[in-house]
Amino acid sequence: MRESEEGEEEEIDRVEDAHARIDALSQQISELRDLHADERQARVRLEDDLAAERERRYKLQDDLDEIDARTDLLSILKADADQMDGRARSAALILHLKRAAERRRERGDVAKASVNRDQAEEALHHPDVERTTIYRDMRRAVRLVDDKRVLAYESASGGESRLKLDLENGDLPGEATLRRGDDL
């Protein structure tokens, strides 16, 4: 019987060892679950921080693009903006809209842009031009492109008229192929 008691004690020891290992493994699993939850929360915080940084970068890129566009327009306007004719102002508006639409495309948005009269005047850096002259420049821009699917002027009665560029519907003609004519 002694052997039987020794066998039982060994069995009990093995069971107790197994329970101790199970308890230790359960504790490790619990700690790993807690660590996993903490890491998941940290990842969510990092993703939020990344999204905020991405938005900040887009804002900075927009600011930089606006400065670039103004620099380009200033080079078009050269030293004396008063000497700029209507065709040059219209071409400058087209360039301004094209750059804005291309920036949107680079960010993954649709390649569209628009300006109202005030925005067109600001883009041209030409505050001494009459209000009606800017509207005429906007309509002339449409005639220069000669594709209303790509560039259109929308006159709103009582509202705000806009010059709208949509590069999703086609491309602008090159500078040499812009429609020419004395009536423009």
Q: How do the domains of the chain map onto residue ranges? A: 2-177
Q: Where are the alpha helices (DSSP H) in 78-177?
A: 86-106, 117-124, 131-145
> pLDDT for 161-177, tens place per residue?
899 999 888 887 765 34
Amino acid letter for position 117: R
pLDDT number for residue 39: 95
Q: Which residues contact 76 (CB under 8 A, 6 or more apart)?
A: 88, 91, 92, 95
102 pLDDT exceeds 50? yes
What percent of the chain has a predicted confidence (pLDDT) above 90?
32
- Token code pair at residue 59: 């804002």
> Do the beta carbons of residue 142 and residue 151 sit within 8 Å?
yes
Residues 126, 129, 133, 137: what is their CA dihedral angle, to the nearest 10 degrees? -20
Backbone CA torsion sign across 80, 86, 92, 96? positive
Torsions phi, psi of 113, nearest 5? Answer: -155, 155
13 pLDDT exceeds 50? yes
> Do the beta carbons of residue 65 and residue 103 sit within 8 Å?
yes
- Tell me which of 15-29, 43-57, 145-159 is least confident: 145-159
181 pLDDT exceeds 50? no
> pLDDT for 22-56, tens place per residue?
999 999 999 999 999 999 999 999 999 999 999 99
